[in-house]
Amino acid sequence: MSPTLSSRPPLTVLLATPRGFCAGVDRAIQIVERAIGRFGAPVYVRHEIVHNRHVVERLKGLGAIFVEELEECPPDRPVVFSAHGVPKSVSAEAKLRKMIYLDATCPLVSKVHVEAGRHFDAGREIVLIGHAGHPEVVGTMGQLPAGAVTLVQSVEDARTFTPKDPANIAFVTQTTLSVDDTAEIVAALKARFPEIATPYKEDICYATTNRQEAVKTVAGRSDVLLVLGSANSSNSVRLAEVGGRAGARAYLIDDADGLDLAWLAGAQTVGVTAGASAPEVLVQGVIDRLAESFELSVEEIDAQRETVIFKLPRVLA
């Protein structure tokens, strides 16, 4: 009997590694799940625990209620603060209202808070490189009194920013920025203020850095890049940008339903990655969808192996 020939065209899928959940996201999700287990439903969560629609919907199904402000939470139910961190005023208010609160701020965001506090105590004016309005930026700026931190979003901002004392400034950054864009902003700051105090260790976190490195490798070999992640996820948006610059036509999609097969016209190789808040099951969903129309050959492209794990708060461990 002659072998059956597939009528589906061939397509190579390159899977970027690492991709998807980081240690901070994994910890934040576990905090909500365990809080529901420990205290019963509902458990309130201030802001999306991580910026992913699927994660939020699943946790809603388990008994989480998502709100934007603390005053929306009844004082007799526990509240979880999202992985992005909160201004100090939020935990102060929770204490005042004698609420049970669990802080799911990623330890690498807390590290930036500590660093900013250290510079402030040393009398330095602080520049925060980040995106206006992002909850992490709001949380980091809210660690210190109003006016202590100046937000710089671009090279242009870095060129025009006027410090009170140019000899006494420091910078910290949002954890989920583009490594390359941030390097340009830092270079512009250093060119103007050679004495600027820099972070002990990179503020852009290991997960952001590793996922951007991996996507560059995959996008450089792909016609099209599919990034699983929600549009409000900073690190997912950055992955699509970095992948686009590395040469692929990049699309950010929430899940397989967001995939338009017309994007793949003429493509022989498709790269796939996922932002740090996107579950792996969504990657599998895209592969399954592609397999309906193409004869797939799937290759895992390893960049870095990650072994980072963060401890849970003692009350939930």
199 by Cβ neighbours in 10 Å (0-12 / 13-18 / 19+) ranks as middle
205 sits near ligand SF4 (criterion: CB under 6 A) = yes
Question: Is 235 a residue that touches ligand SF4 (CB under 6 A)?
Answer: yes
Q: Which stretch binds ligand SF4 (CB under 6 A): 20-28, 55-63, 116-124, 238-246?
A: 20-28
**Interface with ligand SF4 (CB under 6 A), residue from 13, 80, 106, 218:** 106
Q: Which of 11, 13, 22, 49 touches ligand SF4 (CB under 6 A)?
A: 22
Alpha-carbon distances of 16 from 210, 283, 293, rounded to whole Å: 10, 11, 21
Token pair recorded at residue 267: 């493509």
Q: Which of 82, 173, 182, 208 binds ligand SF4 (CB under 6 A)?
A: 208
User: At its nearest, how many Å lie between ligand SF4 and the CB of residue 23?
Assistant: 6
The residue whose Cβ lies closest to ligand SF4 is: 24
Interaction between residue 274 and ligand SF4 (CB under 6 A): no
Annotated active-site residue in 48, 125, 136, 241? 136
Q: Based on CB atoms, which residue is closest to ligand SF4, 93 or 202?
A: 202
DSSP 218-250: HHHT-SEEEEES-TT-HHHHHHHHHHHHTTSEE
Question: In the structure encoding, which two tokens stand for residue 65, read together?
Answer: 């209620």
Q: How far is the CB of 207 from ligand SF4 (least distance, A)?
A: 4
Q: Is 136 a catalytic residue?
A: yes
Our finding on whether 137 is near ligand SF4 (CB under 6 A) is no
Count of residues making up the chain: 317
Burial of 145 from C-beta contacts in 10 A (0-12 / 13-18 / 19+): exposed
> Nearer Cβ to ligand SF4, position 210 or 222?
210
Of 83 and 259, which has the nearer Cβ to ligand SF4? 83
Task: Tell me, letter by letter, the H, E, C secondary structure of 97-160.
Answer: CCCCEEECCCHHHHHHHHHHHHHHHCCCEEEEECCCCCHHHHHHHCCCCCCCEEEECCHHHHHH
Residues making contact with ligand SF4 (CB under 6 A) = 22-25, 83, 106, 108-109, 175-176, 205, 207-208, 235, 276
